[in-house]
Amino acid sequence: MKRSRSGESPWTYILLAGILIPFLFPLAWMFLSSLKTQVQNTAFPPVWVFPPTLNNYREVFVKNPFFTFTWNSLVVAAGSTGLALVLGLPGSYAIARFKRTGIALAILTARMAPGIGYLIPWFILFTKMKMIDTYTALILTHLIVALPLVLWVMIGFFEDVPGELIEAARIDGCSNFSAFLRVALPLVKPGIVATAILSFIFSWNNFLFSLIIAGFKTRTLPIAVYNFLSYEEINWGGLTAAATIITLPVLVLSLFIQKHIVRGLTFGALKG
């Protein structure tokens, strides 16, 4: 559906700003509040112009083991993403190449089930095995999200690889495995990067699984921030500084894969 070029008038940009501002406002407000003092944050009507301070950020790191939380989040996100790729890439390749859609549908059903359904049994089992508050338990639970994600999104990318290329490699004497490693994988490299980033973001943002499985030693960033919320006497500056620190890496990462985000969020069902 094409409109005339007259669409590009000043009104278009006023309209765009009108649409963007409400969607940007909460994130901007979070960032602004993190630069305010407690007095400015509790002022009513709200303060819009003020001399920014970095004190909140300093306090977050001085008062809390925030580096440890960040490290924990990194280990779990990298661990679950890495494992999901190693396990998922050959699987999605085979599903796409040999058209095993039945397996794919079973995985989609798994995505529909509520997270708590997986969490309660694993919580019981990990408690019995004394594995609560270990990286292994956290990575395994995060894999429940990451592995189906990798499988589903990568099926789409592998389907785009022309079958003739694989056939040609096979005729030239490539084994099934080296056709996968040396022909298919290099062709879907952009897809792998996008999927890895998506999986990393999902794990980094995960709240429910970490809330129960992580303990004092392995506490991830979202849980740390949630705990501030319950313990701190509404110190909005500190809270929003912590929230900004968690969100910023995700926002930056998402910019690299904007083309693939819709595909990832709908599990490959829709391309945005």
Partner 1 sequence: MPPAMADESRTGQMSAWVTPGRPTSAWSLFVETHPVLVFTLPAAAVVFVLMVFPVFYTVYMSLHSWFASSLTAPEFIGLQNFKRAFTQDERFRNAIWLTLYFTALATALQVVLGVSLALLLNRPFRGKGFFRSIFLLPMVATPVAIALVWMMMYNPTLGVMNYLVGLVGLGPYKWVSDVRFVIPALAAVDTWEWTPLITLITLAGLATLPLEPYESALIDGATPAQMFWRITLPLLRPTIMVALLFRSIDCLKTFDIIYVMTAGGPGFASETLNIYTFQVGLFYFHIGYASSLLVILFALVLGVSLILIKVRRGAW
Residues in 170-189 at the binding interface with partner 1, rule: CB under 8 A: 172-178, 180-183, 186-189
Q: Is 58 in the site for partner 1 (CB under 8 A)?
A: no
Structure tokens at 236: 């909005």
Site string for partner 1, 137-156 (x = CB under 8 A): ---x--xx--xx--x-----
Q: Is 207 in the site for partner 1 (CB under 8 A)?
A: yes
Range 244-263, binding partner 1 (CB under 8 A) = 244, 246-247, 250-251, 253-255, 258, 261-262
Q: Give the total of residues touching partner 1 (CB under 8 A).
A: 111
Cα separation of 34 and 60, whole Å? 11
Question: What CA–CA distances, in Å, run from 143 to 30, 109, 119?
Answer: 30, 16, 12
Question: What CA–CA distances, in Å, run from 74 to 49, 117, 183?
Answer: 35, 25, 31
Among 2, 51, 164, 216, binds partner 1 (CB under 8 A): 2
The distance of closest approach from Cβ of residue 62 to partner 1 in the complex, given in angstroms and rounded to an integer, is 20
Alpha helices, H only, 98-207 = 101-112, 115-128, 135-159, 163-171, 176-178, 185-187, 189-205
The distance of closest approach from Cβ of residue 250 to partner 1 in the complex, given in angstroms and rounded to an integer, is 5
The distance of closest approach from Cβ of residue 76 to partner 1 in the complex, given in angstroms and rounded to an integer, is 14
Among 138, 149, 201, 214, binds partner 1 (CB under 8 A): 201
Among 105, 129, 168, 269, binds partner 1 (CB under 8 A): 269
- Sorted by sequence, the CB contacts under 8 Å of residue 267 that are 6+ apart come out as 108, 111, 148, 149, 152, 153
**Collapsing DSSP states into helix, strand and coil, what is residue 34?**
helix
The distance of closest approach from Cβ of residue 177 to partner 1 in the complex, given in angstroms and rounded to an integer, is 5
Range 96-125, binding partner 1 (CB under 8 A) = 98, 100, 103, 107, 110, 112-124
Q: Is 231 in the site for partner 1 (CB under 8 A)?
A: no
The distance of closest approach from Cβ of residue 143 to partner 1 in the complex, given in angstroms and rounded to an integer, is 6
Closest of 91, 33, 51 to residue 239, by C-alpha: 33
Cα separation of 141 and 124, whole Å? 13
Cα separation of 272 and 262, whole Å? 5
Among 23, 67, 216, 231, binds partner 1 (CB under 8 A): 23
Residue 13 or 167: the one with the smaller Cβ distance to partner 1 is 13
The distance of closest approach from Cβ of residue 56 to partner 1 in the complex, given in angstroms and rounded to an integer, is 13
Closest of 100, 78, 79, 81 to residue 89, by C-alpha: 81
Q: Is 204 in the site for partner 1 (CB under 8 A)?
A: yes
